[in-house]
Structure 1
Amino acid sequence: MAAAAVLSNGSGGDTKAEFAEIYNKLKEEMLEDPAFEFTDESLHWIDRMLDYNVLGGKCNRGLSVIDSYKILKGVDVLSKEEIFLACALGWCIEWLQAYFLVLDDIMDNSQTRRGQPCWFRVPQVGLIAVNDGIILRNHISRILQRHFKGKPYYVDLIDLFNEVEFKTASGQLLDLITTHEGEKDLTKYNLTVHRRIVQYKTAYYSFYLPVACALLLSGENLDNFGDVKNILLEMGTYFQVQDDYLDCFGDPEFIGKIGTDIEDYKCSWLVVQALEHADESQKCILVENYGKSDPDSVAKVKDLYKELNLEEVFHKYERESYNKLIADIQAQPSKAVQKVLRSFLDKIYKRVK
């Protein structure tokens, strides 16, 4: 499957075309890697596995590296080498995402991903998908070594990807043991736990990593951008709270999916808020119905959310979070950094408008 066919669906632009072209180049390099003597069968497997798992998403994380780098450089057009390096790092993030999702689907025993069966559910794949996940992660190291070794920021890139992977895996662990199937216990759910899961499982690799890559490409030292990291983590939290809200109250036609957080016993911001606001009888309704897939139980939980006026609670949270993020962004000394952060925030905010 050509990357261009996936990325051009519904949108155009030179950036997406260049990004797609570089996926094909990177994949070809992985298939020709001299470190392993590939058989025809193994080459076919990896070729198919990469297209199935790395492609198919919106590529927002990867494309954000390029967009952020352009803003930091203060240019609309990058040189051929600059666009290649920015795209390569963007694809490293997409490879990382694929690695996380392949293994996450196995852990969650999920059925579908991006409108098709999860990779481990594809006939003849099964638990070979575990090894495929390991290969996906190792491809990142191969790409970085091939194209960034010798760059002054090479070690910083290695450290960055390792650190973000560790934080994400730790967030996944917290999520898994908190929502462990067969041990349903709503007393484990609170705002602190929700925030920690969100920041470590999602915010680091989805929000901080793309900007950190762009900063390193620009020759910056990440140690000087602690405030930027904190803002991006807050943005990631804001994004996930939105996602939890839309899962219940969003229009499936608009958000592109039918929410299942209630049925899946997710540590959602909504259920955490419900536990904060509910009286004892209302908590009993949650305990009796949360995590059940039958429509009546789901309806009772949603009715309780409405009774507790959680829509207004969300809108109050949204206003306060947005205003704080704007103030924190405007306090940044670099106008380019402000512009990068504002572009991220604008994309999030538009999702509920």
Structure 2
Amino acid sequence: MVRVLTDLADAVSRRVDDALTEWTAPFEPVGDALPDLLAPARALLTGGKRLRPRLCAAGWLAAGETLPTSDCVIRAGSALELFQAAALVHDDVMDGSATRRGMPAAHRRFTAEHEERAWAGDPGAYGVAGAIVLGDLLLAVSATEMEAAATSAGPLAGRDAHRVYDRMTAEVAVGQYLDVRAQALPWSETEAGPTGAVERAMQVVRHKSARYSVEHPLVLGAALAGADAELMGALQAVGLPLGEAFQLRDDVLGVFGDPEVTGKPAGDDLREGKRTVLLAMTVDRADPEGRTLIRERVGAEDLHEHDVARLQELMRATGALEAHEELIGERYAAGLRALDAADLPDPAVRALRELASAVVRRSA
């Protein structure tokens, strides 16, 4: 099963590159502007774990299909990867992130090119504008790939699959806004009570990342194969808790991850002021001095390495990190219980167990 999913990932990688070329070919007369625009996207789309296409293939297998490298699944996997790239480009603009996967974020790359060429206007504004446009273009190409996948699946299955995709794209936009809004809330609201703060953070987790990282790709693959509502509901029950575990692990990596592995600076989420579940748990458990440290330094533009170390130690000392790890384990176990109850074909079960483990135990 590992080999089959690896073959799928390789096929999706080739298709993503071809899709960018094919769908932008009509615009080649604009000259050098087109490759300049696409360059950050091509760099971002090179490599990666292809988790979402693999989950899509697992959903396809769950519906009784046996060839996860069919053109239909490859096109859907390409659509998911292109959508992911668009989300990352826009997310880096909103968060002011400097790097992504060890490379300059798209807006930083556009800014640097503006500076190097001594163009007119503000380099930073140009960089942000370029990244917004690039994200929009990636969304458009993603949509065309999804349309091709839906057409290949047939009218009924294609319609159901498109509904999943459309729900996913809309939900991520809502989740992004919830994330931006959470970072703007006064700290007094964050400290108003542990249940409220943690639940608000979990709401962001579900809408911004959990569903589109695991649940939606899984259900999308099943829909393409003609799955009925009962099966898609069973896969939702598997995918949501595993998606929550995925994002909760990401939040740990955003504070404690190795920059050589994650491709982002250590403590990057702290610099960006992310109101994560881990941070909410820390606020709940911290004494007044610890809460003051959080209010004054989380989200500070001049956050230093020693500040990151102090906040990391606070998360450990208060027991927040341990409680957060327990929550990841609980969500992982909930996903596996739902998988056991779903009565899926053996190839789908094997694939999902492999992917569930990769979701929780990843280091990047």
For residues 134 and 250 of structure 2, the distance between their equivalents in structure 1, rounded to whole angstroms, comes to 29
CA 232–302 in structure 1, closer or farther in 2 if over 3 Å, else same:
same
Q: Secondary structure at the match of 2:54?
A: helix
Q: Which runs of 5+ in 2 are unaligned?
A: 115-125, 192-196
For residues 235 and 160 of structure 2, the distance between their equivalents in structure 1, rounded to whole angstroms, comes to 17
Residue 266 of structure 1 deviates from its aligned partner by 1.4
Q: Residue 330 of structure 1 aligns with which residue?
A: 340
CA 266–325 in structure 1, closer or farther in 2 if over 3 Å, else same:
same
Q: Residue 213 of structure 1 aligns with which residue?
A: 220
CA 173–114 in structure 1, closer or farther in 2 if over 3 Å, else same:
same
Residue 261 of structure 1 deviates from its aligned partner by 2.2
Q: Which runs of 5+ in 1 are unaligned?
A: 1-11
Deviations along 1:98-150, one digit per CA (max 9) or x if unpaired, are 11112222222222222222222221462133222222111122223345337
Aligned length: 333
Q: Residue 7 of structure 1 aligns with which residue?
A: none
Which residue of the other structure, out of 316, 324, 338, is the alignment partner of 1:314? 324
Q: Secondary structure at the match of 1:149?
A: helix
Q: Residue 21 of structure 1 aligns with which residue?
A: 14
Q: Is 1:48 equivalent to 2:35 in the alignment?
A: no
Q: TM-score normalised to the size of structure 2?
A: 0.79
CA 264–13 in structure 1, closer or farther in 2 if over 3 Å, else same:
closer
Q: Residue 266 of structure 1 aligns with which residue?
A: 274
1:57-72 matches, within 5 Å, as 57-70=48-61, 72=63
Q: Secondary structure at the match of 2:362?
A: helix
Residue 13 of structure 1 deviates from its aligned partner by 4.9
Q: Residue 299 of structure 1 aligns with which residue?
A: 309
Residue 265 of structure 1 deviates from its aligned partner by 1.8
How big is the alpha-carbon RMSD for the aligned residues of Structure 1 and Structure 2?
3.0
Q: Secondary structure at the match of 1:140?
A: helix
Per mean C-alpha deviation after superposition, the further-off stretch among 299-308 and 314-323 is 314-323
Q: Residue 146 of structure 2 aligns with which residue?
A: 144
Which residue of the other structure, out of 262, 271, 278, is the alignment partner of 2:286? 278
Q: Is the 8 A contact 1:215 1:222 kept in 2?
A: no
**AA of the residue aligned to 1:238:** A
**AA of the residue aligned to 2:276:** S
**AA of the residue aligned to 2:355:** F
1:1-353 matches, within 5 Å, as 13-32=6-25, 38-41=29-32, 43-45=34-36, 47-48=38-39, 50-70=41-61, 72-73=63-64, 75=66, 77=67, 83-121=70-108, 122=110, 123-124=113-114, 126=127, 127-146=129-148, 148-149=150-151, 151-152=154-155, 153-180=157-184, 184-185=186-187, 187-188=189-190, 190-222=197-229, 224-252=231-259, 257=264, 258-292=266-300, 293-336=303-346, 338-351=349-362
Q: Is the 8 A contact 1:96 1:137 kept in 2?
A: yes
Deviations along 1:69-97, one digit per CA (max 9) or x if unpaired, are 3465463x55xxx6222111101001101
CA 71–343 in structure 1, closer or farther in 2 if over 3 Å, else same:
farther
CA 275–163 in structure 1, closer or farther in 2 if over 3 Å, else same:
same
Residue 250 of structure 1 deviates from its aligned partner by 4.8
Residue 184 of structure 1 deviates from its aligned partner by 5.0
For residues 237 and 13 of structure 1, the distance between their equivalents in structure 2, rounded to whole angstroms, comes to 24
Q: TM-score normalised to the size of structure 1?
A: 0.81
